Amino acid sequence: MQSLTSRILDLRGQRNSLDVFRPWHFLSEAEYSAAGCLQTTSTIFLTNRECPWKCVMCDLWKNTTQKSVPGGAIAKQIRFALQQLSPAENLKLYNSGSFFDSAAIAPAEWPAIAELVRGFTTVTVENHPQLCDHRCGEFRDLCGNTLEVAIGLETSHEPTLIRLNKQMTLDDYRRACDTLLHQQIRIRSFILLRPPWTSETEGIERALQSLDFAFRHGADVCTVIPCRESGGMMAELRATGDFSPPQIESLYSVVREALSWGRGRVFADLWDAAEDESPAAQQILSQLQRMNETQQPALM
C-alpha cells in the first residue's frame, strides 16, 4: 500500500527555478509588535533545501531546492535582501522548513548570519517542534537580540494533525514550547483555519481550540492561516469533497474572538484574501487589516 508521503510526492507538480544565492522573495510591512505598537518588520523568504517533513497542505516546497545550498549562500541571500529593503525594527527569516535543520542551515553558517541580523530588535525563524533544542539558545546568543521561533501547530485536533502528515504530536509541541520558554525565547504559532476533513463550523471551533492550546503553552503571538488549495493532494481532496477553503467570514470570527481574550497578539494571514473582490468580502478584509494593525476586535 502506498504511503501518505509517497502519495503527496506523486501528486506534486514542478518546482520553480531558483538562484541559490538569492532569496525567492522579500518584503517589509507594518506589524503590531510585542512593544505594543506598529513597527516595520522585514521578511526574507530564503531559498533553501526542502523541509524533510511532507505535509498534506504545504506548498512551500515549490520554492525550495532538492539539495542543500552551498556554504555561505544563506548569508549572501540575507545580505542581498537587506541591501534592497529599507531599515526595519524586526526581521523574519523564513526558509520553507526548519532553521535548525542542519542540512538546511549548518551551524557553521550561524556566525555570518548573526552578524547580519544583530541590529534588529527581534529575529524570527521557523522551526519544527522536534528540532527545538539547545541550538535555539546558542543561535540567540550569537545574535545578541530577542529570538522568536515560529512553530506550525496547525491544529490541536490530534486526529487531523496525524492525517496532515505533520509527523508531530501535541506532546512534541508542548515539549518544544517548554524548551523555548526555558531559554527565554518567544513563541509564534501558526494555526490552520479549516484544514481538510473539517466542516465550516468545525473549522471555526477547532481554530479557536488550537489558539487556546497555543496560548496555554506559552505562545505570545499566533497567526491564523486560511487553509488554501495549493494543487497536488489538496486539489484531490477538494475534488473528493474532503476539503473546501474557509469563508472569509470565518476568519473574521476566529480572529475577533481570539483578540477578545486578551491573551496575546493574533493575526489573520491575508496572503490570498484579496482575491474575492465582492463588496462584502472587501469590507471584511478591511476589518481584518484593522484588527491586525490595532489588535483590537473590530465590529462589522
- pLDDT band at residue 273 using 50, 70 and 90 as cut-offs: confident
How far apart CA 189 and CA 186 sit, in angstroms, is 10
Statement: residue 285 has pLDDT above 70? yes
Quick: pLDDT tens for 102-132: 999 999 999 999 999 999 999 999 999 999 9
Statement: residue 45 has pLDDT above 90? yes
- pLDDT band at residue 250 using 50, 70 and 90 as cut-offs: very high
How far apart CA 56 and CA 16 sit, in angstroms, is 19
The whole-number pLDDT of residue 26 equals 98
- Mean of all residue pLDDT scores within the chain: 96
Statement: residue 197 has pLDDT above 70? yes
Residue with cell 497542505: 57
Domains, in order of start, for the chain: 18-294 (3.20.20.70)
pTM assigned to the model: 0.96
- pLDDT band at residue 1 using 50, 70 and 90 as cut-offs: low
Q: Dihedral of CA 211/214/218/221: which sign?
A: negative
Q: By the 8 A CB rule, do 266 and 225 touch?
A: no
Quick: pLDDT tens for 74-100: 999 999 999 999 999 999 999 999 999
Tell me, what amino acid is at 134? H
Helix (H, G, I), strand (E, B) or coil at 90: strand
The whole-number pLDDT of residue 291 equals 97
Count of beta carbons in the 10 Å neighbourhood of residue 85: 16
